[in-house]
A and B are shown apart, each in its own frame.
Chain A
Amino acid sequence: MHILADLKLVAKALEHNEYVVIKQLSNTIIDHVTAHQDPDLLSVAVIVYALSKLIEREQYKDEKNWKKFYTSYCGTIGSMISSLEKNDDKGFRKAIAANRSLIVGLGGKLHYYISDVITRARMNKASQLYEKGISMEKTANALGISLWELSEYMGPRSEDKDNLYISLPLSKRIALAKEVFG
């Protein structure tokens, strides 16, 4: 199972705080999301990407409760791995839910910082998912965000460099518009 192998690599990279490797692994997980269309994998991709950002950023590491939060966060990754090893889908989902609920108990600045990291992680994965060919509406729904948020985060896409999505010559499309506007 790809996701188990990826999560084990995440755990290994965690030992040396290799956030670049962890970030790359979150991209690999998005490939699995596209292939399997599995919302649980999408959640894991967001969790892993957010983890890379948590390690990379320094600004909140002196905050009260940071260590406890971070230890619990990494603990949920461990729980996901052990559940997958036992083919325990229920346990795997429980670990994802436990990760999501960690932020609920946080207060003050740390809550603000971590919320920001997670929001950005969702947006990052949303734009990657869109790049993989999934529609904007579907992508927004899968990540529980609005089309407005997703549009705000749209950036340059590799497909714009080629003509992959041209399905009608431009002259014909303009002619359609001119039928209406003269």
Chain B
Amino acid sequence: MGERMKQLIFDAGPLINFSMNGLLFVLEELKKNCNVEFLITKEVKEEVIDRPLTIRRFELEALRMQELFKKKVIQLAAISASEVQELRKLRNEFMDVANRSYIAKHKAVHLLDKGEAAALALCVIMKKKTGNEIPLVIDERTARMLVENPTHLGKILEKKFHGTIDIHLKDLRIFEGFKIIRSTELVYIAHKKKLTGISGPKALEALLYGLRFKGASISDEEIEAYKGMK
């Protein structure tokens, strides 16, 4: 019996990041070499293909992304009409909870938008459908913190807002259990598998900084830790 096809769900940010760093081919290589499917939502497709196709400056990147889509390197998750309905409902619920759970100066802080919320919702739908917990690739630090450490996110917001933040932690439990990775982990794996097309002592550092400068949230210490890994 063949090995089960693995899946990953992508938010728009990492795809844009790969594109802007000229690394879209890495996704193709990873898919070819690792028996994995890269799934996206309709919202992410709009953000990475449909919308930039209308902006001259990003038309070329959008066409390249469209090629990946045509080759099914990235693909819309195959979900039924009723699952689409469920996804929308979940997406709205995630947005509603996230955007009313942190209160600064008597006003709820808006933290989660449609794209990220839909990607999280797709994780839930796919888990129900396949029984597997599918990791989500997301570079956005706020969404990641919301899932992994909502209390700490509150503390960060207190610093940024220069005041107290009231958190409705109980409601935020709906964000527990998601598996999150970033574009940087994908590139690290690709680098180890010699799929990035560059090598040498500076290669990994250059790849990680490239991703950081286009939106991946990774600290200096993490980059150093990556470089020290065998």
Query: Which residues of chain A have a CB within 8 Å of any CB of chain B?
Result: 31, 34-37, 132-138, 141, 146-152, 154-156, 159-168, 170, 173-174, 176-182
Chain B, 174-198, CB within 8 A of any chain A CB:
179-182, 185-186, 188-189, 193
A-B contact pairs, 6 of them (CB 8 A): A132-B160, A148-B52, A160-B219, A170-B222, A173-B180, A177-B188
* Inter-chain contact total with CB atoms closer than 8 Å: 145
Sort A-B residue pairs by CB-CB distance and give the 8 closest, nearest first. Answer: A137-B113, A167-B148, A133-B160, A177-B185, A167-B149, A135-B142, A165-B141, A148-B58
A149 and B114 CA atoms in complex are apart in Å by: 18
How many residues from B make CB contacts under 8 Å with A? 68
Q: Are A160 and B220 in contact (CB under 8 A)?
A: yes
Q: Are B222 and A181 in contact (CB under 8 A)?
A: no
Q: Are A176 and B111 in contact (CB under 8 A)?
A: no
Say if the beta carbon of B110 comes within 8 Å of chain A.
yes
**Whole-angstrom distance from the CB of B177 to the nearest CB of chain A?**
13
Contacts of B100 in A (CB 8 A): none
A161 and B12 CA atoms in complex are apart in Å by: 25
**Which listed segment binds A: B72-80, B83-91, B121-129, B208-216?**
B208-216
- Which chain A residue has the least Cβ–Cβ distance from B221? A163
Q: Are A168 and B185 in contact (CB under 8 A)?
A: no
User: How would residues 201 to 227 of chain B score, 1 for a CB under 8 Å from any chain A CB and 0 otherwise?
Assistant: 000000000001111011111100110
From A134, A137, A176, A178, residue with most partner B Cβ within 10 Å = A137
**Whole-angstrom distance from the CB of B133 to the nearest CB of chain A?**
9
Contacts of A177 in B (CB 8 A): 135, 181, 185-186, 188-189
Contacts of A159 in B (CB 8 A): 217, 219
Q: Are A167 and B145 in contact (CB under 8 A)?
A: yes
Q: Are A135 and B188 in contact (CB under 8 A)?
A: no
Contacts of A150 in B (CB 8 A): 215
Contacts of A182 in B (CB 8 A): 34
**Whole-angstrom distance from the CB of A33 to the nearest CB of chain B?**
11
Contacts of B221 in A (CB 8 A): 163, 166
Q: Are B34 and A181 in contact (CB under 8 A)?
A: yes
**Whole-angstrom distance from the CB of B98 to the nearest CB of chain A?**
10
A160 and B215 CA atoms in complex are apart in Å by: 11
Contact of B20 among A135, A151, A165, A170 (CB under 8 A): A151
Q: Are B13 and A133 in contact (CB under 8 A)?
A: no
Contacts of A174 in B (CB 8 A): 185, 188-189, 229
Chain B, 9-31, CB within 8 A of any chain A CB:
12-13, 16-17, 20, 30
Contact of B156 among A35, A133, A154 (CB under 8 A): A133
